[in-house]
Amino acid sequence: MKKLSIQGKQIRAIGYPEGPVISVAINVMEKHYKHNSIADALEMLTKILATPTEYLQHETLAPIAEKLMPPPVPEGVDVSLNQQGISFNVFGSEQIEQGAMNQMYQAAKLPVALAGALMPDAHHGYGLPIGGVLAVENAVIPYGVGVDIGCRMCLSVFDIDPKELLQREHYFTRELMEATLFGGGRQFEVSTPHEVIDSKLFSELSLLKPLQARAARQLGSSGSGNHFVEFGEVEIMEPDEVLGIPAGKYLGLLSHSGSRALGATIANHYTKLAKQKRRLPGEANNLAWLQLNEEAGMEYWLAMNLAGDYAAACHQVIHAKIAKQLGRSPMKMVANHHNFAWKELLNGKEVIVHRKGATPAGKDVLGVIPGSMTAPGFIVKGKGETASLNSAAHGAGRRLSRTAALGSVTEDALRAVLEKHGVKLIGGGLDEAPFAYKDIHMVMQSQKALVDMVGMFTPKIVRMDGASPKSWRKQKNEITGE
C-alpha cells in the first residue's frame, strides 16, 4: 500500500499558519498515519486546527496541537489594551446604561477578545458588565464569568391546576419554607448526599479541599440578594415540539441561585492570580485572564465546572424535595446557567464564550428568563443567532441600583404592587422591588431575533432572603473581597 506523502502547501491550504507547525504536522502524519489517505490526513489536521486544546493530551497528535497554541505570556507582565477594539452587537441599546456600554467597550479592547455582544438587560458589573457576552482565544476571565459561578434558573412544570396555589396557599408557603435556606452564610445542620460533593477535585485541588465540608452543608440552599424560589402559573399557549408540553395552564416551581461560597471563593482566588499574572490598566484590571494552557488556567477551568455542577445540584435538591412533598414528578424541567464560560466553535475555531448574566440561546436550546417578583418570566427557545454569540438576556435587568431602590421605594408602594398582582412575598426587600427592574416585555421585544417565547411563568408565592441588604452584602464581601 502506498505510504502517505503530504506537502506543506496542502496543510497551509486548510488554514494552518506558516511556521514550525507545518513541518511538525508532516512528520507526525507521515510517521504515525502513513497508511491513511491524503483526504483522511487533512480531515484529521482540520479537526486539530479547529480545537487544538482537545488534542493536547493525545498520544501522537499532541505535538501538532502544542504548536497551534499561542505562546504563554510571562507572569507579572503589564498588558496594554488594543487601541481599536473588536466590534460587538448591542441589543436593546436604548435600555442600557452608559456604564455597561463603557465596560463592554473596554472588554472589546482585550488582546484575547475575538467577538462580543451586549444583551438588553445589561447593566454595570465587575469586569465584564452583567449581560455581557465575550468570546476569547485560549483564555478564561474569572470576572468574565462572575463571582456566583453557575448561577442558574430551574423550572419544574407539574400537571397540577395552578388554582391550588390560591386554594391551598398555606400548604405551598410551608413547602417553600421547608425546602431551602436563604441567607449569605446559612448552612443545613445535616447535609444531603450528592455525587457532586464526592468529586475527586476536592482532594486534587488544594484550594477546594477545605471548602468541601461547607459545600456539603450548603447544598440545596439559595443564598441572598436576587435569588428566589417561587411557585407560579405556567401557561403554554401553543405546544412546542422541543418543550413537549401540551397547551394549557400548569403549576410551576421556579428557582434562581448559584454556587454559594464555593463559587465565590473560586472566583476570588483565581481573579487574584489572573491580576498577578497580567496587569491591565485601570478598571480593565478586573478583566485579567488566565490562559488555558497554563496551570492556573487549567485549575480554574476544572474548578469553574465543579462550581457549575454544584449549582445545578443545589437546584436538583430543592426541586426533588418539593416534588416529593407534592407527590408528583415534573412533566418537564427546564434549566440553564447564566454565569459561566463554554468551549464553543466560532467560524470553525474553538473559542471560550463568557456569558455573564446571559442565557445560552443556541438553536432549539431551552432556557428560562425571569421578570421580577410580580412580572412574568418566559420559557424560551434559542434561535442560534450568531450576532449574539448564541445568547440572550438572563432576566429583566436592574433599572435602579440597590442603593437607589432603597432610597426611592417605600414599603407601602411594594405592598400595593404585590396586592395588585396577587403575589405573596416571603422575605424579600425594597432593593428587590419590581420598580428596581426594567420592563421585561421591552427586554423580550428587544431580543425577538434571539429567542422564541414558548411559555410564560407568572409568580404567585415568592420566597427570598429576609435579611437586610446591608447584612447580606457584608456576608458576601467577606467571601468575595468586593
Q: Looking at the domain assignment, is residue 322 inside a domain?
A: yes
Residue 163 lies in a domain: yes
Q: Are 236 and 360 within one domain?
A: yes
pLDDT in tens, 269-292: 999 999 999 999 988 999 999 999
User: Is 106 part of a structural domain of the chain?
Assistant: no
Say yes or no: 341 and 436 in one domain.
yes
End residue of a domain, out of 49, 68, 87: 68
433's torsion region: left (phi>0), alpha (psi -120 to 50) or beta? beta
What confidence tens digit (pLDDT) does each residue in 253-266 have? 999 999 999 999 99
Helices (H), 108-168: 142-145, 164-167
- pLDDT category at 1 given cuts 50, 70, 90 is low
Residue % of the chain over a pLDDT of 70 = 96
Region of poorest pLDDT, from 128-132, 281-285, 380-384 = 281-285
What is the Cα–Cα distance from 347 to 350, expressed in whole angstroms?
8
Mean pLDDT along residues 241-262 = 97
Q: Does some domain include residue 34?
A: yes
The residue out of 28, 50, 68 marking a domain boundary is: 68
- Please give the pLDDT value at position 176: 96
Strand partners, 118: 90, 132
Same domain, 43 and 175: no
Report the DSSP beta bridge partners of residue 318: none
Query: Residues 197-230: pLDDT tens digits?
Result: 999 999 999 999 999 999 999 999 998 999 999 9
- DSSP conformational letter for 270: H
CATH label of the domain that carries residue 456: 3.90.1860.10
Same domain, 64 and 165: no
Q: What is the pLDDT of residue 468?
A: 57
Beta strands in 240-288 (DSSP E): 248-257, 278-279
Answer whether residue 477 shows pLDDT above 50.
no
Check residue 18 and give its pLDDT: 86
The closest alpha carbon to 314, from 355, 262, 354, 269, belongs to: 262
Q: What is the pLDDT of residue 118?
A: 98
Domain hosting residue 59, numbered range:
8-68
Q: Name which of 32-41, 201-210, 469-478 the model is least confident about.
A: 469-478
Of 103-112, 211-220, 326-335, 467-476, which gets the smallest average pLDDT? Answer: 467-476
- 44-96, pLDDT tens digit by residue? 999 999 888 889 989 999 999 999 987 765 667 788 999 999 999 999 999 99
Listed residues 68, 88, 109: the one ending a domain: 68
Asked if 264 and 165 sit in the same domain, the reply is: yes
Same domain, 299 and 447: yes
Helix, strand, coil fractions of the chain, as percent rounded to 5: 40, 25, 35
What b-and-e string marks burial along 254-289, b requiring 16 or more CB atoms within 10 Å of the CB? bbbbbbbbbbbbbbbbbbebbbebbebeeebbbbbb
Is residue 209 in a domain?
A: yes
Give pLDDT, residue 232.
98
Instruction: Categorize the per-residue pLDDT at 185 as very low, low, confident or very high, splitting at 50, 70 and 90.
Output: confident
In a domain, 132, yes or no: no
At position 285, the amino acid (one-letter code) is N
CA distances (Å), origin 101, targets 36, 81, 421: 52, 17, 33
Asked if residue 97 belongs to a domain, the reply is no
The pLDDT-based confidence of 404 (bands split at 50, 70, 90) is: very high
For residue 119, pLDDT over 70 is answered with yes
Q: Are 147 and 480 in contact (CB under 8 A)?
A: yes
- Per-residue cell: 114: 475575538
- Total domain count for the chain? 2
